[in-house]
């Protein structure tokens, strides 16, 4: 159930033994309000590199709200107010002078439902590269598109269909296309908001396998309602309840020896 690579295991061991591995992202006293309704309460959480952190908890507990804070997606929601700090390698991304477009190229996002653009498979992946002028020639653009599709485990399935619409792909392929689109920009962090909730078991298994491979090179934060998925793909887990973090730590410990009875109740299905 709990799988990790040797490098991820080493990273987790360094974290849990009090090593010096610095967090990639640190949230401190993070509060979020939608109008007068408070959604997050003084959330403190460190996200460490070289692995997957799972955010779990009942619907409406704040985990997706927290995820959207990590690349300022809450900026797009009317009447949303965020206080506190979110440090990306020591820089507060909530500061008023942060270039949000540049931030989102560093912190990519994959949404709950696949959302390919109404463009060709090639142009879906090339879109961000063109916008950010990351390819200096057509050949470089083609190389980077291929590399991204290979990175998303999709190249062999679509290499002869690059001019077809991205919406012509199956649901699982569309989600991997969206992942390819995200990694084309070579982000440092990938946020995933229930990326498998709309997929069948076979497509889910492929995306989970992909997450494992990507976590070798990217910091991944995933929101999931599936306890089994969190156990399979993550090295660290944070349990949210009613807008607060109840417990966070090594995934094995959270699932086999939770310290808070609310965590145990959620994991065993008594609440949620």
User: pLDDT tens per residue, the chain (272 residues)?
Assistant: 555 555 555 555 555 444 557 999 999 999 999 999 999 999 999 999 989 999 999 999 999 999 999 999 999 999 999 999 999 999 999 999 999 999 999 999 999 999 999 999 999 999 999 998 999 999 999 999 999 999 999 999 999 999 999 999 999 999 999 999 999 999 999 999 999 998 999 999 999 999 999 999 999 999 999 999 999 999 999 999 999 999 999 999 999 999 999 999 999 887 76
Q: How far apart are CA 119 and CA 198, in angstroms?
A: 21
pTM recorded for the entire structure: 0.89
Residue 1 belongs to some domain of the structure: no
Q: How far apart are CA 27 and CA 176, in angstroms?
A: 29
The enclosing domain of 192 has a CATH number of 3.40.50.300
The residue ranges of DSSP E strands in the chain, in sequence order, are: 25-34, 37-47, 51-56, 80-88, 91-92, 107-110, 189-193, 219-223, 236-241, 244-250
Domain count for the chain, please give it.
1
Q: What is the dihedral of CA 109, 148, 195, 102, to 10 degrees?
A: 0
Nearest to 221 by CA among 75, 102, 55: 55
Query: Which residues, listed in sequence order, are joined to residue 33 by a DSSP beta bridge?
Result: 38, 81
* Domain range for 186: 6-267
Going by C-beta distance under 8 Å and a sequence separation of 6 or more, which residues neighbour residue 263? 239, 246, 247, 254
Q: How far apart are the first and last CA of the chain?
A: 22
Relative to beta strand 219-223, strand 51-56 is parallel
Residue 85 belongs to some domain of the structure: yes
Judge whether 149 and 202 are in contact, CB under 8 Å: no
Question: Looking at residue 73, what is its pLDDT?
Answer: 95
Q: How far apart are CA 148 and CA 143, in angstroms?
A: 9
Question: Looking at residue 242, what is its pLDDT?
Answer: 96
The 10s digit of each residue's pLDDT in 112-135 is: 999 999 999 999 999 999 998 999
Residue 59 belongs to some domain of the structure: yes
Residue 74 belongs to some domain of the structure: yes
Query: Which residues, listed in sequence order, are joined to residue 229 by a DSSP beta bridge?
Result: none
The 10s digit of each residue's pLDDT in 3-17 is: 555 555 555 555 544
Question: Looking at residue 17, what is its pLDDT?
Answer: 45
Residue 51 belongs to some domain of the structure: yes
Residue 272 belongs to some domain of the structure: no
Residue 249 belongs to some domain of the structure: yes
C-alpha distances out from residue 160 to 139, 156, 157, 164, 174, Å: 17, 8, 8, 9, 16
Residue 73 belongs to some domain of the structure: yes
């Amino acid at each position: 159930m709990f799988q990790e690579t040797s490098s991820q295991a080493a990273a987790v061991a360094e974290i849990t033994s009090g090593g010096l591995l610095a967090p990639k992202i640190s949230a401190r006293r993070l509060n979020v309000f939608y109008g007068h309704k408070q959604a997050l309460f003084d959330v403190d959480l460190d996200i460490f590199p070289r692995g997957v952190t799972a955010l779990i908890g009942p619907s409406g507990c704040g985990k997706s709200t927290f995820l959207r804070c990590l690349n300022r997606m809450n900026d797009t929601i009317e009447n949303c107010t965020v206080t506190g700090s979110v440090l990306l390698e020591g820089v507060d991304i909530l500061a008023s002078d942060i270039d949000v477009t540049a931030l989102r190229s560093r912190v990519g996002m994959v949404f709950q439902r696949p959302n390919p653009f109404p463009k060709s498979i090639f142009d879906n992946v090339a879109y961000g590269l063109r916008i950010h002028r990351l390819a200096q020639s057509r050949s470089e653009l083609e190389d980077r598109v291929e590399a991204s599709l290979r990175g998303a485990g999709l190249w062999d399935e679509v290499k002869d269909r690059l001019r077809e619409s991205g919406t012509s792909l199956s649901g699982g392929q569309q989600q991997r296309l969206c992942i390819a689109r995200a990694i084309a920009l070579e982000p440092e962090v990938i946020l995933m908001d229930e990326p498998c909730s709309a997929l069948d078991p076979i497509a889910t298994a492929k995306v989970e396998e992909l997450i494992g491979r990507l976590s070798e090179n990217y910091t991944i934060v995933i929101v999931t309602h599936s306890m089994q998925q969190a156990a399979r793909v993550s090295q660290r887990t944070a349990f949210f309840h009613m807008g607060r973090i109840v417990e966070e730590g090594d995934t094995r410990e959270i699932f086999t020896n939770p310290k808070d009875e609310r965590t145990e109740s959620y994991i065993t299905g008594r609440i949620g």
